């Protein structure tokens, strides 16, 4: 065990691999470590014949998957995904064991995998999870070492070969028999395939799995035939109703609206809200309310923004079509309107997770962001943010792009209610650090705005505008005066998971909760 720079105890090795403790956001320079791009064997295909081998089982056999290998899937089908569950069932039926899952994310629907973890079919997770799997891991009810990565961090780990993917099984909503595919059309259309694009480039074997085999060529090409080994067909990739399910509704909660209004004030005071403005926000009710304010200000002042980024909603599509942005960078579509837009509008650009947020390249899109709205399950008085665990100590959420965007954007704004069900959200220490405080610009709660020390001009401007600027410790004390001081959740010494920072260093661990 060693302490990282944020005071968290980090094991030197985990599940047989060595890790470095987190130091600071710029500590790891790939050149000095001689990091290389992963390589895969060159292949030659003499044939122009169909690559369709049959269903999932035939594809698994054809891929050469064996005990101890690593597979990946993408999470563009989100909670409507059937592929990962069906895949693991087939892998089990074929008697293959000790598989590592390196999906781009795992959702609540994948709770079906729990029996296969117990059975030894799945023995490690090289990805963060949402929902019951993480909950049971942090309760110690199932054993499965887990390394949680951000979107950018995962792209980095695949591109650098730190997490070598043996076979990528990529859901392909619109696919031809020779392996060209995109995500724009078909019954399982999900729009952007941003997370899958990295796997398609770097996995040793690439299997396109489709429920919608179309006549050659499947255009426009998202993933091209020259990097796809196998095509498999299935009845259904998932439940379309749950694939692009985000309810893009503005919050009606008065406190949420208050937070949104303050956040808009922060953006307005940042100095970036002018021609060329770039912006990212999520799908939560508060985030959308902020986006609403931003749209109104841009309209009113006739501002032409540069780009909107991230997971894309219909709200951003409307802003694009209204001429408020030059374009959209889309790593993942959140609703049907976004799916429909990316399929026809060339200014709505599909973006790979590597282009979006991989820190080890010649510049990710997040580096060009002015303002970004991010959420938190907790934040501490040093601005460190938790999005992985809740105050209960349970691992319930994946990182998403949180630390990538916080690090890239010029002003990263955390929006968070000050209290959730009596639990204070501004803590002395967060349960788990996902994103280091030094990369966080501003915290906005309904009780006030706290500005980090590295943005003194923004702070002065907010004070000038009579915004309720408070020291983060003052905010903390005010909240505790309302809620009382909660007892800390107790953890055992057993490390069941790592929280990896985007550069591959370990920023925190997950330990089992003491019953």
Partner 1 sequence: MEIIKKGVAGTMQSSDLMVFVEPADTLRLEIESTVIKQFGHLIRAKADEVLAKNGVTAGFIRLTDRGALDYAIEARIETALQRASAA
Partner 2 sequence: MADSQLRRTLLFVPGNMPSMLQNVPLFKCDSVIIDLEDAVNHAEKDAARNLVRRFLENWKDRNKEVLVRINPLYTKWGRDDLKAILPERPDAIRFPMCETPELALELDAELAAYERANGLEVGHFGILPSIETVKSVLNAYAIATSTKRIFGLAFGAEDYTASMGVARTNSGEDLIHPRMMIVMAAKAAGIQAIDSVFSDVNDMEALKKETELVKRIGYTGKCLVNPRQIDVIHEAFAPKREEIDYALEVVEAIKQARQMGTGVISLKGKMVDAPIVKRAVNTLRVAFAQGLVATPIDEEILNG
Q: In sequence order, which residues have a C-beta less than 8 Å from that of residue 135 and are 6 or more positions away?
A: 394, 395, 396
Q: Give the number of other Cβ atoms within 10 Å of residue 417's Cβ.
A: 16
Instruction: Please check whether residue 204 is in contact with residue 164, taking contact to mean a CB–CB distance below 8 angstroms.
Output: yes
Binding mask 392-411 for partner 1 (x = CB under 8 A): x-------------------
* Among the residue ranges 16-24, 255-263, 447-455, 486-494, the one whose residues contact partner 1 (CB under 8 A): 486-494
Options 214, 303, 423, 463; binder of partner 1; rule CB under 8 A = 423
Q: Which is nearer to partner 1, 368 or 420 (CB)?
A: 420
In angstroms, what is the minimal distance from the CB of 476 to partner 1?
Answer: 16
In angstroms, what is the minimal distance from the CB of 488 to partner 1?
Answer: 8
Options 65, 113, 168, 257; binder of partner 2; rule CB under 8 A = 257
Q: Which is nearer to partner 2, 211 or 446 (CB)?
A: 446
Sign of CA dihedral 86, 89, 95, 99: positive
Paired sense of beta strands 99-101 and 167-171, if any: unpaired
Which partner, partner 2, partner 1, none, binds residue 489 by CB below 5 to 8 Å per kind? partner 1
Please give the structure tokens belonging to residue 356. 């979006």
In angstroms, what is the minimal distance from the CB of 163 to partner 1?
Answer: 35
Residue 74, interface with partner 2 (CB under 8 A)?
Answer: no
Options 252, 302, 344, 346; binder of partner 2; rule CB under 8 A = 252
Rounded to whole angstroms, how far apart are CA atoms 469 and 451?
A: 7
Binding mask 475-494 for partner 2 (x = CB under 8 A): -------x------------
Cα–Cα distances (Å) from 55 to 73, 163, 188, in that order, read 16, 27, 17
Rounded to whole angstroms, how far apart are CA atoms 15 and 201?
A: 26
* Among the residue ranges 22-30, 235-243, 254-262, 318-326, the one whose residues contact partner 2 (CB under 8 A): 254-262
Options 447, 459, 470, 476; binder of partner 2; rule CB under 8 A = 447
In angstroms, what is the minimal distance from the CB of 300 to partner 2?
Answer: 14
* Among the residue ranges 111-119, 212-220, 304-312, 477-485, the one whose residues contact partner 1 (CB under 8 A): 477-485
Which partner, partner 1, partner 2, none, binds residue 391 by CB below 5 to 8 Å per kind? partner 1
Q: Give the number of other Cβ atoms within 10 Å of residue 66's Cβ.
A: 12
Longest Cα separation, the chain = 73
CA dihedral 335, 337, 339, 342 (to 10 degrees): -140
Options 44, 254, 484, 493; binder of partner 1; rule CB under 8 A = 484
Options 70, 104, 258, 358; binder of partner 2; rule CB under 8 A = 258
Q: Give the number of other Cβ atoms within 10 Å of residue 484's Cβ.
A: 9
Rounded to whole angstroms, how far apart are CA atoms 358 and 407?
A: 11
Sign of CA dihedral 470, 476, 478, 482: positive
Q: Which is nearer to partner 1, 236 or 483 (CB)?
A: 483
Using DSSP's 3-state secondary structure scheme, residue 421 falls into coil
**Total number of residues binding partner 1 (CB under 8 A)?**
12
Judged on CB neighbours under 10 Å (0-12, 13-18, 19+), 112 is middle
Residue 241, interface with partner 2 (CB under 8 A)?
Answer: no
In angstroms, what is the minimal distance from the CB of 446 to partner 2?
Answer: 6
Q: Which is nearer to partner 2, 261 or 361 (CB)?
A: 261
Please give the structure tokens belonging to residue 335. 């609703």
Which partner, partner 1, partner 2, none, binds residue 297 by CB below 5 to 8 Å per kind? none
Which partner, partner 2, partner 1, none, binds residue 254 by CB below 5 to 8 Å per kind? partner 2
In angstroms, what is the minimal distance from the CB of 421 to partner 1?
Answer: 3
Cα–Cα distances (Å) from 125 to 151, 202, 500, in that order, read 15, 18, 13
> Can you say how many angstroms the Cα of residue 88 is from the centroid of all Cα atoms in its chain?
22
Crossing angle of the two packed helices 194-202 and 151-159, in degrees rounded to 10: 10
Residues that bind partner 1 (CB under 8 A): 391-392, 420-423, 482-484, 486-487, 489
Residues that bind partner 2 (CB under 8 A): 252, 254-255, 257-258, 261, 446-447, 465-466, 482
């Amino acid at each position: 065990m060693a302490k990282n720079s944020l005071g968290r105890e980090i094991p030197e090795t985990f599940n047989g691999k060595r890790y470095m403790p987190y130091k600071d956001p710029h500590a790891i320079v790939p050149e000095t470590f001689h990091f290389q791009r992963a390589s895969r064997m060159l292949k030659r295909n003499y044939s122009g014949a169909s690559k369709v081998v049959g269903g999932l089982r035939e594809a698994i056999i054809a891929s050469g998957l064996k005990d101890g290998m690593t597979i990946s899937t993408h999470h563009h089908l989100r909670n409507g995904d059937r592929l990962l569950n069906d895949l693991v069932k087939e892998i089990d039926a074929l008697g293959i064991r000790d598989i590592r899952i390196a999906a781009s994310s795992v959702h609540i629907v994948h709770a079906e995998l729990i029996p296969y973890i117990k059975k030894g079919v799945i023995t490690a997770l090289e990805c963060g999870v949402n929902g019951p799997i993480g909950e049971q891991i942090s309760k110690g009810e199932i054993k499965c070492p887990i390394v949680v990565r951000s979107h950018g961090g995962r792209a980095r780990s695949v591109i650098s070969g730190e997490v070598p993917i043996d076979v990528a099984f990529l859901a392909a909503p619109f696919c031809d028999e020779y392996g060209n595919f995109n995500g724009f059309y078909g019954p399982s259309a999900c729009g952007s395939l941003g997370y899958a694009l990295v796997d398609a480039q770097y996995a040793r074997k690439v299997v396109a799995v489709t429920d919608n085999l179309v006549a050659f060529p499947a255009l426009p090409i998202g993933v091209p035939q020259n990097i796809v080994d196998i095509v498999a067909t299935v009845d259904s990739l998932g439940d379309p109703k749950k694939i692009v399910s985000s309810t893009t509704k503005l919050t009606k909660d008065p406190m949420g609206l208050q937070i949104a209004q303050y956040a808009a004030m922060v953006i307005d005071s940042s100095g970036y809200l002018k021609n060329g403005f770039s912006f990212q926000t999520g799908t939560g009710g508060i985030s959308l309310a902020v986006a609403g304010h931003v749209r109104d200000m841009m309209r009113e002042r006739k501002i032409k923004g540069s780009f909107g980024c991230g997971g894309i909603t219909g709200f951003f599509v409307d802003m694009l079509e209204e001429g408020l942005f030059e374009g959209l960078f889309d790593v993942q579509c959140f609703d049907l309107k976004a799916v429909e837009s990316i399929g026809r509008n060339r200014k709505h650009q599909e973006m790979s997770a590597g282009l979006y947020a991989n820190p080890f390249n010649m510049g990710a899109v997040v580096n060009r962001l002015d303002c970004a709205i991010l959420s938190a399950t907790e934040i501490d008085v040093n601005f460190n943010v938790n999005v992985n665990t809740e105050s209960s100590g349970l691992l319930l959420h994946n990182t998403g792009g949180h630390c990538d965007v916080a690090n890239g954007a010029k002003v990263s704004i955390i929006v968070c209610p000050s209290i959730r069900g009596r639990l204070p959200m501004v803590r002395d220490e967060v349960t788990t650090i996902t994103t280091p405080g030094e990369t966080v610009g501003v915290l906005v709660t309904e009780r006030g705005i706290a500005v980090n020390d590295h943005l003194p001009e923004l702070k002065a401007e907010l004070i000038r505008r009579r915004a309720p600027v408070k020291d983060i410790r003052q905010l903390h004390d005010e909240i505790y005066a309302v809620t009382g001081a909660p007892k800390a959740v107790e953890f055992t010494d057993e490390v069941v998971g790592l929280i990896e920072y985007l550069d591959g260093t370990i920023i925190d661990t997950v330990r089992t909760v003491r019953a």
